[in-house]
Structure 1
């Protein structure tokens, strides 16, 4: 949510509010799956194409592990 996932910060905050409330377990599951579907490949979540698909669709496998500078993170780490 730090890097992509428009609107997911708000959904994540809502999930944090209800996650331990037994009476809201179904709502919590729904919110969790919404977040999951935006942060994983669409083929994993069985959803329409998302930002993750767009980000990695044209990368070679070894490009996930490249660290441009010592202060950067790999794409794999971010995902």
Structure 2
């Protein structure tokens, strides 16, 4: 539940008018996903740590996608 709450909070911060620009946020998320994949293939980092990093990043993307779908409909 904590990871999902963090992902939702990140998405809310990105959507907030005072938050970072959407392009910067998407670039940071893409870099985070690429870094997680690279760490999975090139390091011996515990897989549970990488799982939770990927979970938070993908949860943020999902929350942003849901927001953009709802705003495009309404």
TM-score, normalised via structure 1 length = 0.45
Q: Which has the larger radius of gyration?
A: 1
Structure number with greater CO (CA < 8 Å, separation at least 6) is 2
Q: Which has the higher helix share?
A: 2
